[in-house]
Amino acid sequence: MSLFRVDSSIRTEGSVSRAVADSIEAGWRQTHPGGAVERRDLAADPIPATAWTTAIGAGQTPADQRTPEQAEALALVAAAADELAAADAVVIGAPLYNFGVPQFLKAWIDLLILDERFAPGAAPLAGKQVALVVARGGGYAEGTPRHGWDHATGWLRRILGDVWGGDVTVVEAELTMAAANPSMADLIPLAEQSKTAAHELAATTGRTFAERVLATV
């Protein structure tokens, strides 16, 4: 049984999304010490920028006429799909960049959808728990000036839940730039509250995921 963790933050030190994902992983290990944790760091090992278009072309080319690059792209699609399909539970770290999805994460999802197991209608994550860890530098809650500017979280919920069928839990931390941005200094207490709540929910989520997976054994 395994927890599959995907990180997409460009930061390896000081990343809030990575730290909150750590809390999920810790909760999983606490409840299921023998459970494996598999990882894919999309920022450290990104999907090649040309892989998606190359794989699309390969899918439209007879197998005996494919170039080595096309064959390699299709192999990358299959490997990514194998990896995610094998997981019993999933954690995806998704910091908000420029009001949208990190390019590394978008490239991975685009590639996965080319595999027939992850095509719309296949629901490959049906019955599986998925944690979406969202970190936002500012405030995007209802009533704030930038409410509605987060164009990542809704899309990711659509893909992970509505398209792929996962049971999605969103763990959010907001105002993560408050301590580093002097103009946000007054918001530091709210930022700390948000971070604390995110870690608490993350730990609970990790334990819950492990409990549900163990209950299926």
What would the pLDDT profile of 111-124 be if each residue is shown by its tens digit? 999 999 999 999 99
Domain range for 101 is 2-44+81-215
Dihedral (Cα; 71, 106, 194, 158), 10-degree rounding:
-100
CATH of the domain at 154: 3.40.50.360
What number of residues does the chain have? Answer: 217
| Any domain includes 69 | no
In a domain, 61, yes or no: no
Does a structural domain hold residue 158? Answer: yes
What gap in Å lies between CA 104 and CA 53, rounded to an integer?
15
User: Concatenated DSSP letters for 38-101?
Assistant: EEEETTTSPPPTTHHHHHHHHHTS-GGG--HHHHHHHHHHHHHHHHHHT-SEEEEEEE-BTTB-
Q: Quote the mean pLDDT of the chain.
A: 96
Q: For residue 1, what pLDDT is reported?
A: 84
The pLDDT of residue 207 is above 90: yes
Query: Looking at the predicted structure, is the pLDDT value of residue 217 above 80?
Result: no
pLDDT at 95: 98
User: Tens digit of pLDDT for each residue in 60-84?
Assistant: 999 999 999 999 999 999 999 999 9
In a domain, 63, yes or no: no
Q: Is residue 106, in this structure, part of any structural domain at all?
A: yes
In a domain, 57, yes or no: no
* Domain-located, residue 122: yes
The number of beta carbons lying within 10 Å of the beta carbon of residue 181 is: 14
pLDDT of res. 216: 86
Residue 109 to residue 96: CA distance in whole angstroms: 16
Q: What is the pLDDT of residues 166-193, one digit of tens each?
A: 999 999 999 999 999 999 999 999 999 9
pLDDT tens profile 139-159: 998 999 999 999 999 999 999
Half-sphere exposure of 131 (CA within 13 A, CB side): 36
Query: Does a structural domain hold residue 53?
Result: no
pLDDT above 90 (res 14): yes
Backbone angles phi, psi at 36, to 5 degrees: -75, 155
Which H helix or E strand runs over 133?
A: strand 129-135
Number of domains the chain is built from: 1
Q: Which residues have C-beta within 8 Å of that of residue 65, sequence separation ≥ 6?
A: none
| Greatest pairwise CA separation for the chain in angstroms | 63
